Structure 1
Amino acid sequence: MTASPPDPVPFVRNDRSRTKAWALAGICGLAGLLYLWLIGSSNYGNAYYSAAVRSMTESPTNFLFGAADPYGAVSVDKPPLALWPQAASVAVFGYHSWSMLLPQAVEGVVTVFLLHRTVRLWAGERVALLAALILSLTPITVAINRDNNTDSLLMMLLVAAAYSFTRSIHAGTDRGRTKWLLLCAFFVGCGFTAKMLQAWIIVPVLALAFLLSSTSPVRRRINDVLAAGAVLVVSSFWWPALHDLWPGDKPYMGGSTDGSAFQLVFGYNGFGALFGTGQQPGGSGINVPLAMVGLSGGMPGVTRMFSAEVGDQISWLLPLSLLVLTVVGAAGYRRLWFEAPGDAVQRAGWLLWGGWLVLVGGVFSFTQGIFNTYYTTMLAPAIAAVSAAGIALLWRKYCRPDGWQWMLLPAAVALTALWAFVLVSRDTSWHGWTRWAALGLAAFAVLVLVVAKLSPGRRPLGHAGLVVGAAAVLLSPAVWSVGTAAVAADNGGFPTAGPPNNAFSALLRGELPDGMMPPAGMPPGGGQMPEGMELPPGLQLPEGAQMPGGMQMPDGVPASGEDTAASSGVRSGKGFGGSDLSAGNRRILEYAERHSGGAGVTLAVEGGGLASSSFIIETGAPVVGMGGFLGADDSPTVDQLSEWVDRGDLRFVLTAHPGKARLGGMAGMGGSVQQKRLVWVRENCRLVDPGAYGGEPFDEKQAQLPVPGFSDAALYRCGA
């Protein structure tokens, strides 16, 4: 039996010096500057969510259920909690990119502040300040907090949960420990309402850390965890229950097979995203081809977090963190072996942040479904906490008068700088000078630390080595973070830090220059481009990947920015869910508005929110992207389309030209439900002459990019 850990001393709020208070304010100010710099010039971020935010301001029902279009036909493919602050800000300040992105930046700053408060309880003020600084300077965190994806709110809620958990360990009474643990569960449940099952990844860590670290009696601990589980379930599933039980009209649940929010939880956006189950039975759900898995986030495996696609976003301090966890784990094992008493607070902190890092990193590394680089921002708080506490731990070992463990600190500095050198060397066009600067600082720091240790009476020199070593460790990610904010690039649906011309973003925009290879994450062998999807000239598939049916690389693909939508399309040149409405698209919309006779839906567009977003963002018109995100949802059904037409709510539909079996590229990935709508439109509606709205005749030889150019679409008039 091991000795029972002593009760932790109840936390007392001691007055901090003004210097430390100003340091925290400065770090939060730095974070705010990075997240807000030129934020209004970065366009509208993820256009799918941007269109939804505008649509949510149209009615209370749209707001409550996260409608993706002003008409309220389909919702976004997750609970709308993360979009509510954005919609509220737009309702107050008007619909602008800055007003929509402002809540994201605020959430990011609050996350930095909460991390400081959490780590301060565990490891002290200086470590907390360092952790907050590291989080502020994490490149992918800067990118995600300048975008409107759902991860910013998720991170704020999970760090709030970590704070509540830490307070539960510090509480001096059983009742206090229970109260704070229940609040922790509530915050995780709110995270579920922001990004579903991703929020639950840390639940096993929280439960285990509480059971092993709380000083309450064992029976009380178990009861507390069970009670927290009940709170977690209620705070997670209240919105799906509300959606499914709502008696009145509501949007179809985007991404589901039957309109049910609970089906979405356990389907494509839940376990399907984790295990890569692909399209759901019946043709609903996103039909993502194997060839696209890994495009953004690399292929699954133990090295994914260090890969070319992910490494420069999050892994700058990952080697340092893993080294620290190895040292801490070895020390904990020795303590357990020799039955030495432990510190409950310290144990809880290491279990929390170390477990968070290992479990989340492991899940992300082996996820078989869709995985994007910006998901890794969930690792940032844990890396920041472990790295900051680890530097303090290694410094204490360095200061010991005997033993060999003093060498761990200079080794950690050297290891981290070498890894930064590798990351920067992958693309030296983006602040490549930092690799040599970081390496030089690290070499100098190691030299100073070694000399100070081997020369008696030179302890102040060791402090200087520590400061220089910290600068070496943080230099490259800091420059990448500042550079990411400075260029104010429009990351669209896939925010990334660093070079703005990475291959995946260019592929989605349709701007890959001749000879540029797609990202290394595309699977070697077995992957095929889906039917109708072609590649620009000079763009080569990876070894083993094939075009379907022996198709060849097309000729005549339009150059970047060329308006191929003049005949019909929803967008060209900029691609994946862009916010810019092309001249051709605007003419189509204006024609539909003039001739729709006040219909509730001015225009229904095949290809989902990916296709309709630019219409909604630019004009706010009641345009419906049929089929949810990528057109794969069974909404509207053909019966609904018929009903809309009969009651005069719909007159115009934009879908595949009669000369095409389906829309090309991503817009045609909707499967059988999309084909049913296409057949119905062709049988019940008539083709509009492109000359009526200033378009051009359809060109069957026009090649389709993997992103939606929509030059193969046509406008149809339905009803009278």
Structure 2
Amino acid sequence: MATLPTAQSTGSHGRRRSSQRPDEQPEAPAPWERPALAAVLVVAAVLYAWGMGSAAIHPYYSSAIRSMSTSWQAFFFGGLDTSGSITLDKLPGAFWPDAVSVWLFGPHTWAAALPQVVEGVLTIWLLHRIVRVWAGPFAALISALVLAFTPVTVVLNRATIPDTALTLLLVAAAGALQKAVRTGRLLPLLTCGVWVGLAFQTKMLQAWLVLPVFALVYQITASEAPLRRALRLLLSGAVALAVSCSWALLAWMTPAADRPYVDGTSNNNPFSLVFGYNGLSRFGDDDTALGAVAGTAASRTSGNTGWGMLVNHTVGPQIAWFLPLAVLVTVMALVWRAREPRTDALRAGFLLWGGWLAVHAVVFSVSNGNHPYYTAVLAPAIAALAGGGLALFRSAYEAGGQRRLWLPSALVLTVVWALVLDWPTWFASWLLLLAVPLGVGGAIGLWVSRSGASRTMVQGSLAAGIAATLLVPAGWAAAGLDPLYAGASTSPTAGPVGTAYHKAVHDRSALRRVGLDQPSTRDIALLDYLTAHHHGEKYLLATQAAYPAERLLRAQSQPMLVMGGFTGKTPFPSADQLSTLITTHQLRYVLLTPLRPTTPATTWVKSHCTRLRSKDYGWRTRGSFGLYDCARQR
């Protein structure tokens, strides 16, 4: 029977890895490695893809995905409708794979969700590869398991939200940086800049949070002379900046008449979208900074902030199961390896992943508010630190001496922390009944074992302890397969926490998911009426903000004028522009709702157009919408 290699044979102690020459090839995989990794990837794929036909796709993003799949202009600029009247309030990069998938396979919910599944599985595979080079196969396998069973990654990878692509690209950037440090070559460092720039295309400024960490790690640990390291960093940074700003620059250079209006801005400037609406306005009291429009409750969240946000009742069970272990091993690794050479590869890895974790934790703590799924970007760092840290503690355990107690202590700490996180809900109590005795038993087995103990006993105790640490987060992760425990499609959250869960407990209808090409009876009636009365106008309909248009755009790829953008506050179109569209017979019908802000354009509609009776277009009740016919002006 194959056994896991010792820490020394894998290089997790660090000395062998640190002295590896740049031209050396990584050691051949042990017989157990590939089957173990394949099993983790299969389990992850099942968790992410199960029930994909009813995946929790984001209602706003998915409507744009369908439009982007049918129009090259909408695809490149991120147009919300096929005519490209206005963009998303985000950069389109994260949604390009989704749009391609819908273009290839048709307007199906599973087609929109498929790229997230692939991106999630690729992230695990890539992290395993990176950690294996850094700390050995044992650490790599633990990291892959921790990432696969992080609850927030499971619910997020079943949605259509940019953070999945962001995480994959940043992990790729970390791998390129590690290769640049290890080999001393320039190309991997430039590649790191490219990956960061592409990550910027998915979620803008958040992608740049890793740059100070990357720069510090390279400047401290790379083998080149200081000036050469600094010059290379500047060059890589220039590449990252160029790739990051490429879309915004191309959009800015395109005449306004030839592209959609940039949502979230008062000046139709893509740089205001990036650095204002999705940048400075998130951290200060002025939410109109740099030409941004003011946010709304639908575009901003005010919760989950402050220094305790990562371990609060809602966010903690999403991401923090291995957080104490990650912090502990980072501190101990830096202390234990303080006397190693500056280029020590093992210490460099702890600096990299520990810095990644620290910077994001600080930024999230001082921002105005965060959705729980924002923390998914922390999962690779926590997973890498957990894997690398347990490998380091295992090496110390096998070396003997006082440090041998760190391994069983770390396992017990992680199991106890699982009890703390689960305590408010007692959601996985039956798993805790397994995890606690398994973890304690494994720790006792390691404590009492001596150098003469059988190898089987030591490995069995270690395996039991590691399994105990994974049981409870895996239970929370698997719970996300039930829509009751998956949160809202706009804010995925695993387990019995969050507003979506509490609403669903009292009203099961709150669990209904939106889908592509799945219109309701009301949607069909309205679309049939609009189509029957459409006589060559450019737009089938204009709506007040994106909210009324989303379900119609998911049902059919039709040109629709989304007035006011996502928030309803974007100053497009103006009242004069709307009047021109109507008088030139490019638009006839407008759908208004009191649930979104009044603008000069909507005021013009109410004063110049005739409101239709709901029964005219097949609705039994008017609800919160009013359809106006501007061909019948007052």
Q: How does 1:493-642 map to 2 (within 5 A)?
A: 493-499=490-496, 502-506=497-501, 513=506, 561=509, 581-606=519-544, 608-642=545-579
For 2:513 and 2:482, locate their aligned partners in 1 and report how far apart those are by CA, in whole Å.
Answer: 23
Structure 1 residue 59 displacement after superposition: 1.7
For 2:458 and 2:354, locate their aligned partners in 1 and report how far apart those are by CA, in whole Å.
Answer: 28
Any gaps of 5 or more consecutive residues in structure 1? 514-558, 562-572, 657-662, 699-710
Superimposed CA distance per residue, residues 613-646 of structure 1 (whole angstroms, 9 cap, x where no aligned partner)? 1111123333333221121211222222112212
Match of 2:347 in 1: 347
What secondary structure sits across from 1:396 in the alignment? Answer: helix
For 1:694 and 1:457, locate their aligned partners in 2 and report how far apart those are by CA, in whole Å.
Answer: 79
Structure 1 residue 321 displacement after superposition: 0.7
For 2:285 and 2:455, locate their aligned partners in 1 and report how far apart those are by CA, in whole Å.
Answer: 54
Task: Name which of 585, 604, 610 aligns with 1:686.
Answer: 610
Any conservation in 2 of the 1:107–1:156 contact (CA below 8 Å)?
A: yes
Superimposed CA distance per residue, residues 87-112 of structure 1 (whole angstroms, 9 cap, x where no aligned partner)? 11111111101111111111111111
CA 1:716 to 1:108, structure 2 compared with 1: closer, same or farther past 3 Å? Answer: same
Residue 643 in structure 1 maps to residue 567 in structure 2: no
Residue 376 in structure 1 maps to residue 375 in structure 2: yes
Residue 233 in structure 1 maps to residue 238 in structure 2: no
For 2:119 and 2:290, locate their aligned partners in 1 and report how far apart those are by CA, in whole Å.
Answer: 38
Match of 2:99 in 1: 87
CA 1:240 to 1:211, structure 2 compared with 1: closer, same or farther past 3 Å? Answer: same
Amino acid at match of 2:333: V
Larger mean CA deviation between 160-169 and 596-605 belongs to 596-605
What secondary structure sits across from 1:719 in the alignment? Answer: strand
Residue 452 in structure 1 maps to residue 449 in structure 2: yes
**Which structure is higher in helix share?**
2
Match of 1:265 in 2: 274
What secondary structure sits across from 2:263 in the alignment? Answer: coil
Say what the alpha-carbon RMSD is for the aligned residues.
2.6
For 2:415 and 2:76, locate their aligned partners in 1 and report how far apart those are by CA, in whole Å.
Answer: 48
Superimposed CA distance per residue, residues 439-475 of structure 1 (whole angstroms, 9 cap, x where no aligned partner)? 221221222222224x854564332221111011111
Amino acid at match of 2:575: V
Any conservation in 2 of the 1:8–1:345 contact (CA below 8 Å)?
A: no
Structure 1 residue 324 displacement after superposition: 0.9
Amino acid at match of 1:412: A
CA 1:144 to 1:6, structure 2 compared with 1: closer, same or farther past 3 Å? Answer: closer
Superimposed CA distance per residue, residues 168-225 of structure 1 (whole angstroms, 9 cap, x where no aligned partner)? 0111xx5x2x111111011001100111001011000000000000001111000000
Match of 1:565 in 2: none
What secondary structure sits across from 2:277 in the alignment? Answer: coil
CA 1:387 to 1:160, structure 2 compared with 1: closer, same or farther past 3 Å? Answer: same
Taking structure 1 as the reference length, the TM-score comes to 0.80
Structure 1 residue 244 displacement after superposition: 0.8
For 2:148 and 2:434, locate their aligned partners in 1 and report how far apart those are by CA, in whole Å.
Answer: 21
Residue 138 in structure 1 maps to residue 50 in structure 2: no
CA 1:576 to 1:601, structure 2 compared with 1: closer, same or farther past 3 Å? Answer: farther
Superimposed CA distance per residue, residues 238-260 of structure 1 (whole angstroms, 9 cap, x where no aligned partner)? 10000111135111112222111
Match of 1:323 in 2: 328
CA 1:477 to 1:281, structure 2 compared with 1: closer, same or farther past 3 Å? Answer: same
Any conservation in 2 of the 1:147–1:491 contact (CA below 8 Å)?
A: no
Match of 1:527 in 2: none
Task: Name which of 419, 422, 430 aligns with 2:420.
Answer: 422
Match of 2:302 in 1: 293
Larger mean CA deviation between 302-311 and 264-273 belongs to 264-273
CA 1:199 to 1:229, structure 2 compared with 1: closer, same or farther past 3 Å? Answer: same
Q: How does 1:141-156 map to 2 (within 5 A)?
A: 141-156=153-168
Any conservation in 2 of the 1:116–1:132 contact (CA below 8 Å)?
A: yes
Residue 16 in structure 1 maps to residue 16 in structure 2: no
Structure 1 residue 284 displacement after superposition: 2.4
What secondary structure sits across from 1:286 in the alignment? Answer: coil
Amino acid at match of 2:61: Y
For 1:639 and 1:418, locate their aligned partners in 2 and report how far apart those are by CA, in whole Å.
Answer: 64
What secondary structure sits across from 2:491 in the alignment? Answer: coil
For 2:295 and 2:247, locate their aligned partners in 1 and report how far apart those are by CA, in whole Å.
Answer: 22
What secondary structure sits across from 2:435 in the alignment? Answer: helix
Larger mean CA deviation between 225-234 and 32-41 belongs to 32-41
CA 1:290 to 1:53, structure 2 compared with 1: closer, same or farther past 3 Å? Answer: closer
CA 1:20 to 1:282, structure 2 compared with 1: closer, same or farther past 3 Å? Answer: closer
CA 1:289 to 1:128, structure 2 compared with 1: closer, same or farther past 3 Å? Answer: closer
Any conservation in 1 of the 2:81–2:557 contact (CA below 8 Å)?
A: no
Larger mean CA deviation between 192-201 and 16-25 belongs to 16-25
What secondary structure sits across from 1:642 in the alignment? Answer: helix
Any conservation in 2 of the 1:75–1:251 contact (CA below 8 Å)?
A: yes
Task: Name which of 443, 446, 465 aligns with 2:440.
Answer: 443
Any conservation in 1 of the 2:280–2:287 contact (CA below 8 Å)?
A: no
For 2:230 and 2:385, locate their aligned partners in 1 and report how far apart those are by CA, in whole Å.
Answer: 27
CA 1:451 to 1:475, structure 2 compared with 1: closer, same or farther past 3 Å? Answer: same
For 1:80 and 1:281, locate their aligned partners in 2 and report how far apart those are by CA, in whole Å.
Answer: 20
Match of 1:214 in 2: 222
Structure 1 residue 512 displacement after superposition: 6.7
Amino acid at match of 2:314: E
Any conservation in 2 of the 1:37–1:486 contact (CA below 8 Å)?
A: no
Structure 1 residue 600 displacement after superposition: 2.0
Task: Name which of 80, 89, 103 aligns with 1:68.
Answer: 80
Residue 389 in structure 1 maps to residue 398 in structure 2: no
CA 1:398 to 1:283, structure 2 compared with 1: closer, same or farther past 3 Å? Answer: closer
Amino acid at match of 2:551: S
Residue 715 in structure 1 maps to residue 627 in structure 2: yes
Taking structure 2 as the reference length, the TM-score comes to 0.91
For 2:264 and 2:434, locate their aligned partners in 1 and report how far apart those are by CA, in whole Å.
Answer: 47
Any gaps of 5 or more consecutive residues in structure 2? 1-16
- Identity over the aligned pairs, expressed in percent? 35
Structure 1 residue 490 displacement after superposition: 7.6
Match of 1:548 in 2: none
Any conservation in 1 of the 2:277–2:293 contact (CA below 8 Å)?
A: no
Match of 2:406 in 1: 408
Task: Name which of 474, 480, 484 aligns with 1:478.
Answer: 474
CA 1:35 to 1:52, structure 2 compared with 1: closer, same or farther past 3 Å? Answer: same
What secondary structure sits across from 1:267 in the alignment? Answer: helix
For 2:206 and 2:298, locate their aligned partners in 1 and report how far apart those are by CA, in whole Å.
Answer: 22
For 2:286 and 2:574, locate their aligned partners in 1 and report how far apart those are by CA, in whole Å.
Answer: 24
Q: How does 1:248-287 map to 2 (within 5 A)?
A: 249-275=258-284, 277-279=286-288, 284-287=293-296
Match of 1:570 in 2: none
CA 1:465 to 1:215, structure 2 compared with 1: closer, same or farther past 3 Å? Answer: same
What secondary structure sits across from 2:295 in the alignment? Answer: coil
What secondary structure sits across from 2:32 in the alignment? Answer: helix
Amino acid at match of 2:411: V
Any conservation in 2 of the 1:313–1:373 contact (CA below 8 Å)?
A: yes
For 2:298 and 2:44, locate their aligned partners in 1 and report how far apart those are by CA, in whole Å.
Answer: 38
